[in-house]
Every structure is written in structure tokens, then in C-alpha cells.
Structure 1
Amino acid sequence: MRVFERDFLGNYLIRITVCLLLFSSCGVRRANTSQAAANYPTQISIKSRPDIKQDSSGNHPELTRKQKALRAAFIDVLETKSADLPFPDLINSIYEKKGYQPVLVQKFFSAQQLQTLSDCLDNSITHGLNPEQFFVTGLKYQLDEVIHQKSSDTVRIQRGLAKLELAVVNSLIRYSMAMQYGVTNPAKIYSHYATPTLIPDSSSVIGIFEIVNLKIYLDSIQPKGKTYLALQKVLKRLDADTMENEDSVKLIMRQKLVVNMERLRWKNKPADQKFVAVNIADFSLDVMDNNKSVLHMKVCVGEPGDKQTPQIGSMIHSVQINPVWNIPQSIARNEISRYASEDRYYLSNNNIKVFKKGKLIRDPESIDWSAIDVRDYSFQQQPGAKNSLGKIKFLFKNGSSIYLHDTPVKSVFKQGMRAISHGCVRVEKPLDLAFALFGKGEKYDQLKKGMESGYPRAKFMGLPQQIPVRLFYYTAWLNEKGGVRFGKDIYGLDQLVYDEMQKKQF
């Protein structure tokens, strides 16, 4: 049989069948869809059955025998396939309210609509993903089974349609979530991650059943960011080249592209048009406004290991001019006490006050710092030219006592490798950053005057409007000319993301 004739007969059969099944469901009363709350897919078995009123004998008088058989067939398939579905409770609830009908197949069955979905799943490799994690082979198999169905048994046809329906639901939900949220949850991957990140919920599933045009929907969920598209373009070119000439360098580059495209799919960007973005791996800061960088500068970040700068999402709410540095106990124990034991005047020369149980120590030079328990003391560096925080620090709420700050040692910004701090972020142009946050006006003038004063005094000043700040970690990004640049994975986080993505590759 020629392809045209086969497709024509297949489509003709399915349209007749769909009409028959639609007609057979007319006697069912349908309730409103309920919303079952869920975060991530769980595997359970379906226990509920159609909510149809029974008479005293337990029969369903509003359904014919054939109608009950058709519904029972769909329910049986749904129960069998439940463990493979994301959000199984919610999906069962939706189909229960819809009378256990293949609603998506009824809506989308045509060579164009479902073929478009199949093509999108195959094309997911251009997003660095494996099409099989969206069960593309199973979808194609069920579609082929329905098209070539030769039986006239409506119950058997219903089972085939149910299997195709659930294959469409399974693939479409998983693909939609991957494109819009990523396939991994960064909060479960990283130990130092405190950025608000949206994850799929029940509304994501319910929305699948409200799609009108499948092609338009699939086009709408494709990532469209400038950086993402640039990385995707390089990945396509690399994959085409790797097929002919595979080597370890290209494989490493491909992994870096795949990982950073996944990071770009995470929904962790602030909704505000203006925000401060720090790329930890690039040692850079940008003030973004309407998707454009209006200020760029170098930064220093935490050393690898237990001093690494965490990924954070918060709001910059204020600054402290001529800040006081309350030295963390770990730094006091490992560094300050050692310097003080080697140089008895180190503390006074660096304008560091010492307290014991809250009481100021007048003569810290008399203490043998190599022989005492440093945990009994606290250290506070006063404002001045030698203060490690420089002349200003930018404050935002977080659980790691991290902030952006100035530094008196400007030479560090000439270094290529700038993962040298204890965790906080040193900024190259603090006054420029302050102007970007405060804008022109009296507050900024006061701030600038305070920073330039020869008699520095600590002073807090609130921003006119809080500004979002995001501390990200990208090892591939766009340079000034729009080309893709690859950076060093200073904290070894790329492999963590890649390994987690591989767990999704069925």
C-alpha cells in the first residue's frame, strides 16, 4: 500500500473512532476540575473510579453497557501506566472530571499535530537533552499502532487510543517542563544554593489540557534568550563536527555547553527589569537593565572549598559607608590570631579592636595569642584606609553573611584568577555601583562625600528602592562581541549538574 493511501485510511479510521467514542460519552455528568497540589512527580497507583451515581443495586443507569466498557478500558490503561506518569494523582483527577476520554488525541490527532510533537522530541538533542527521556520511541509506537489499527472492536480501539493519549500526556508534560524549568532542580544539586527558583507545579500540568494549537504552544516554550541561542548554535555546530571527528576536547566543550544551557533553563532570574548579576565563575558583575548591561566590572570571589561564594538570590536594601568589619570567628582563629602572635602591633596597626565577653581589651599587645583560646575573644576592624571592606559594603539578606564590598587592595583586580576571598564579593568600582543603585541626587552626594572624608565614620544608608541581586555560576557566557566564551569551572560544579542530568537519560 502506498504511503498516501495508508495515511489516508489510518486518519479516516481514527476520525470515525473518535466520533464514535465522543458520541458514547454524552450521558456522563462532568464536574469541575480540581487542583491537586504537587511539586515533583511521584509514583503511585490510581485508586479512584468514575464518580457516577449508583442506584440501590450498584448499577450505573445513565451509562449503557458499551459506554461502561469503554470507560473501564480507559481506566484500566490509566491505572497500568500510572507509575510512568509525572503527577499521577492530578492526571487521574483531570481525566476523571473529563469522563475518561482521550481528550488530547481527539484535539490533536492529525499527521501534522502529533508529528510536530514527535519532531520536537527528536530535536531535543539540540538542547543537550536525550529524546528518550521524553519517551519519544513509545509515543511513535503508540501512534503507529493507532494509525494501523485494523480491529472493529471499539473497546480494543479505546485501549489503543488511551495508550496513545497517555503517551502524548507523558511526553508533552515532561518536554514542557524541561523547556521551561530545566530537567534538574539546582537546590538538590548544590550545597551552596540560596536562589529562589520556580519548579513545575499542578498549574503546569493543567495547562497542557488547555492547549489549543499544539505547534504554536511548542514554539512558545522554546528558550529564546540571547545567550541560550548562542550556546545552542555552538552545540549544533559541535555535534555536527563531532560526528566526523570526536576528541576529548570537544566532548569537554560539549558538556560545558549542555550544563550551561540547563542552568539557563532554570527559572531563577528576577522579574524586575533592573538587577545586579554576579557571575562567580567569570569574576564579573553587571548591572542589568531591560536585558542589557549598563555597568560592568571585575570582582573577586571566594576561594574553592569551604570559602566558595554561594549562589544567592536576594534584594540589596542598604549600604554601609566606611563599614565596621566584625571579623568572623573562623578568620580570627585561622588568620588574625596568627598575625598577632607574629607581630604584637598587628592589631593596632590595622585598627582592630579586641573584645572579651563584650568588654573592650585596652592592651591586646600584652596577650600571647599563640597560647590562649581565641574563641573567648571577638575582633572588630574600625573604619579607615586599611579596613578590609574598603569604604562601602552593599547589604542584602542571606543566610551566609555574604555581601558585596570595596577593598583597599586594588591590585587584586589585575589578576586573572580572582577566587581569593573568604566568600564575600569584592567589587572593582564601588562608587560606580553605588551610583547605579542610588541614582543622581542628594543621597548619592552624601554617600560620595562620606566615602571621601578624611575622618571616616560608619553610617548606614537605605536604597531609594531595593534592587534584586543574583550571584550565579556560569562557565559559558557571551563576550562583549556576542561570541561564546568558556570559563574555568573553579568550584567543580559543572560535573554535578551533568551527572544529575544523566540520571534523567532513560
Structure 2
Amino acid sequence: MINSTIKKSALQVLVMLICVLSLTFQSCKKSRSDLGKVLYEKTKNKVFKDATPEGLAEVFKQVLADNKSKMDNPNLITSFYEKNDYDPVFVMDHIFNGDADLTANYFEKAGQHGLDPKMFKADQIKQLVAKFKDKKGIKTLDEAYHDIADLEILTANSLINYSSALQFGMVSPRKIYARYFTATKRPDSTSMMQALTATNLKTYLDSIQPKDPQYLMLQKALIAGGTAQGMTKEETTRYLVVNMERLRWKNKPSQPKYVIVNIPDYRLDVMDNGQSILNMKVVVGEGRNTDNTNTLVDYDESDKKDRPFSRETPQLNSLIHSVQVNPVWNIPQSIASKEIMVEAAQDPYYLSNKGIDVYENGKKVEDPETINWSSAPKDKYEFKQRPSDDNSLGKIKFLFNNNSSVYLHDTPAKSGFTQTMRALSHGCVRLGDPQALAKVVFGEGATYNKIAKAMSEDNPEPTTIAVPDKMPVYITYVTCWADSNGTLQYRPDVYGLDIVLYGHLQKFLANNDQIAAL
């Protein structure tokens, strides 16, 4: 009897659960059996009286197929409507409460982000909405079905594009830059579906406006239309729009404490909870545009091609995992063949004077001055510079994993830090105050004291010390930003990367007249 009661109760629970799941599933898809009635009540257009979900679905399916080439994400949009039985969510839930006009207004103001409003089809959306609000605007049922499908597709496509542009940027930096290795998130189906399923469009559109204070200050300057000192208004605008695009990229540090190097500013900062707790001058890799010959004033279609100079410092992110005090410099083959061997050919004592050892097949060459360096094979030998005051890496180097063999390091060549243009190295980043960076990375204590002591001595033995808490490091490229006083700072485009980015943004950008009209 008890078992029977238990079984009966379990069966009732199961039935209730099935009912709940069934209702839940059904609630995910809106029932539009009264589609025609609702549209007639809202438009007062008798054409809609005969509209049915089945009739709409047949036309909608064909319009989706016909417009596939015009959509930027046709598979996602098609899948969305297929899974929702071709439910016209924007037409039914948004255009009659003003959301559609509101959405179009946001699209029209895309120039505030430096983007061309025409990309988001605001005019076409408003024209279609107007037809629905005019009780004589739509003449036949077939026209009604087509207009519903057209408005749905147009709005969905523009909403995804606008959302992706503001949240992720218009271009992928990895696709346009040859030496870009920073983890950067791009739009995916999840982010796009958020745009399609937003119940309150104003709330959603407000939420995707970039909130970064830097972005807001550049955006304000763009709308104001000012002119930076020494630049034309057009060049100033271009500086702003390329750096706003950079700020839209999802590649910013998420950690509270990190090291960041800005290549065009020749500066390193250690950031802690949004504040710079250490900054110093740095020397970065030599660039293709060190004399600022090429600027954003003149643009050529060929400028879209990124042609990095061989010594340019790459953009990347990684973790500082260790330091080497009194380091050995494993001289890259390119530097060895183009510089070291040339110097050795001219001066037989160059190698010994610089503390450079030569290796052949992993074995140290005892008398490298006997080699005829003017005719020696370029790739036969390896070169290593011993620790010393003259070592090109100075007294310490900071190591982090990357595929470009770059690191942060000390240098005996201090004169570079007195120069304004400091793109002078072979690609690594030379530090103005490496010991101060070591103190921040390791913190005060025995380990740092050991590092400071070793750096002060003439110690021939390199010592590698692991960082207890790996420190994030970002090497980035920003040519325009607002300083702590809110003053916009501009830096020359030493690597020509602004020009490359501007070239790829061309078809997306608003002109000055569009921005001025906002």
C-alpha cells in the first residue's frame, strides 16, 4: 500500500514536471496566432486582417534566402528566425512603442563614434516603419508579408553590426597587423544573440556605449571638432577615430596590477587598480616612420598593407615569469650576421673587447680572432655576450613567454633616454629604471635585496630568479589619449600603424560633415 502511494505520488510529480517543462518550452516561443488581429489593431490597415503566421513564414523564408548576400551574418540571422518559427519580434514588439525609431536614432548618431551612420541603414528602417504606421501605406497582403520580413532582417542585421562595432571594434587587429599578438576577443554568436533577444532596446543600446573614461573623452573631443596644435582638423579627427577604434577592441588588461608599455609614448607604467604606481622612459624597437614622414594627412590605398621594419617591437601580452640578473645575451642571428660579424671583420679584437664568445655546433671557439669574418658563413656560428657592465642587456632582463624573442631589459647605453624619439633598439624594450621595476615585481624583501646587490656588483655569473606572482605585461600602441588632467596627448605614429588602421577603417568612417551635424 505504501509502495503504491509512493509510486502514485512520483507519477504525479513527473506529470507536473512534464507540464512545467512543456509550458516553459512553449513560453520561449511567442504564440502569434492573432498576428493579423494585432497588426490591424495597431495599424488600422485592413490588409493585415488576413495575415497569418503560416503565410508570413512562407514569405519570410524566401526573403531570407533572397537577402543572404546582403547580410553580414546570414547564417546566424536565418537560424534565429528558423528556431523562432519566423516570429517577427521587432515588428510585433518594438515598432509600435517607438523602439524602432529610437533604434534608428542611435544608428543615425554613429558619427559620434567616428562611424558612418549609413552602415546601419537608419533611413531604410524609418521608411519601413512609416509604412506600417500609415494605414494606407501597405496595399496588399503579399506586400505586408514582404515588408515585415524586410524590416525584421534589416533591423536584425543593423543591430548586430552596431552592437559589434561598439563592443568589439570594426576591424580585427590580428588581421591587419603583422606583429600583433595580444589576446583580443571578437564578436561571437553569444554576443550577437544578445542584440537579437534584447527586450528593452533603449536599455540595451545604452549598455553597449563604451564607458571607458578615455573613450568618453576622445568621443567628446571628436564631437566638439577641435584642432590639435600643429595639425589640421582632418588629421586631428583621424587621430581620434583610430584611437577610439583601439579602445573598442576587447584586449584591455583585466588584472588589477600589470606592466604596460606604450610604444609611441616610449613609456612604461606599472598600473595598480587604475593608478600608475611607477613610470619610466623606455627605448623601443626602431620603426619604419621614425622621422614622421608619413602621416594621416595623406592616405593611399596601399597604406592598408602593414610592412613592419625588422626591428619594430611587437604588440603583445604575456606574464613576466622570471628575471635574469647579470644576464648572458644570446645574440640573434640577424644581429650577429649584420652587425657583430661586420665589426669583427674590421677589428680582430672586437669580440674579446665586447666580451662576446663564439660557438660552433654548441662548442666554444677558443680563438675567434683567427676566423676570417669577412667571408665566414652567416649561419655557422652562434654569439653570446658574457655578463659585464658593457653587456647590451645591462644588469637585468625581465623574461616573459612570446614568439618574438623580446623582453624588457637594462642597458649600458643610457644616452638613448635623453632623446625625444626613442625608437632605437633591435626590438626589445630598454628600461630607464630597471631596478625600480624589479622592486615592484618582487616587492621589498630578501629576494629584491639579493637582486639589488647582484646588480651593483661585477658578477660574471648570470642568476635566474622566478617571480613568485607572475606579473602581466602588455606592450601596446596608442597615439592619442587624455592625461590625468583631461588634456589630450598626441604622439607621432612612429611605426605607421595609425595609417594602416585608418586604411582599413576608411569604408566605415563618417566624414567631418556628418560628425559636425550631430
1:53-452 matches, cutoff 5 A:
66-110=52-96, 112-150=98-136, 151=138, 153-238=140-225, 249-304=232-287, 305-452=309-456
Partner amino acid, structure 1, of 2:414: K
Deviation at 1:175, TM superposition (A): 0.4
Contact 2:317-2:473 within 8 A present in 1 as well: yes
CA distance in structure 2 between the aligned counterparts of 1:18 and 1:79, rounded to whole angstroms: 28
Deviation per residue, 1:159-208 (Å, 9 max, x gap):
22222121211111100000000001111111111111100111012112
CA distance in structure 2 between the aligned counterparts of 1:15 and 1:405, rounded to whole angstroms: 73
Deviation at 1:360, TM superposition (A): 1.1
CA distance in structure 2 between the aligned counterparts of 1:437 and 1:98, rounded to whole angstroms: 53
Name structure 1 gaps, 5 residues minimum: 1-11, 25-63
Aligned residues: 450
Q: Which residue of 1 aligns with 2:297?
A: none
CA distance in structure 2 between the aligned counterparts of 1:328 and 1:292, rounded to whole angstroms: 36
Q: Which residue of 1 aligns with 2:478?
A: 474
Q: What is the aligned-residue identity percentage?
A: 44
CA distance in structure 1 between the aligned counterparts of 2:131 and 2:45, rounded to whole angstroms: 19
Q: Which residue of 2 aligns with 1:27?
A: none
Secondary structure of 1:503's counterpart equals helix
Partner amino acid, structure 1, of 2:154: A
Secondary structure of 1:454's counterpart equals coil
Contact 1:142-1:167 within 8 A present in 2 as well: no
CA distance in structure 2 between the aligned counterparts of 1:105 and 1:401, rounded to whole angstroms: 55
Question: How much is the aligned-residue C-alpha RMSD, in angstroms?
Answer: 2.6
Name structure 2 gaps, 5 residues minimum: 1-36, 288-308, 511-518
Contact 1:286-1:295 within 8 A present in 2 as well: yes
CA distance in structure 1 between the aligned counterparts of 2:243 and 2:40, rounded to whole angstroms: 44
Partner amino acid, structure 2, of 1:164: L
Q: TM-score, normalised by structure 1?
A: 0.84
Deviation at 1:111, TM superposition (A): 5.3
Secondary structure of 1:375's counterpart equals coil
Kindly tell me: are residues 323 and 68 of structure 1, through their superposed partners in 2, closer, same or farther at Cα, counting changes over 3 Å? Answer: same
Contact 1:105-1:165 within 8 A present in 2 as well: yes
Deviation per residue, 1:58-81 (Å, 9 max, x gap):
xxxxxx994422211222222222
Contact 1:412-1:418 within 8 A present in 2 as well: yes
Kindly tell me: are residues 89 and 372 of structure 1, through their superposed partners in 2, closer, same or farther at Cα, counting changes over 3 Å? Answer: same
CA distance in structure 2 between the aligned counterparts of 1:287 and 1:347, rounded to whole angstroms: 37
Q: TM-score, normalised by structure 2?
A: 0.82
Deviation at 1:227, TM superposition (A): 1.5
Secondary structure of 1:485's counterpart equals strand
Higher-RCO chain (CA-CA 8 Å, sequence separation at least 6)? 2
Deviation per residue, 1:285-334 (Å, 9 max, x gap):
11122222221111111112211111112121111111110101111111
Secondary structure of 2:417's counterpart equals helix
Kindly tell me: are residues 15 and 234 of structure 1, through their superposed partners in 2, closer, same or farther at Cα, counting changes over 3 Å? Answer: farther
Partner amino acid, structure 2, of 1:307: R
Counterpart selection for 2:463 from 459, 464, 483: 459
CA distance in structure 1 between the aligned counterparts of 2:341 and 2:214, rounded to whole angstroms: 46
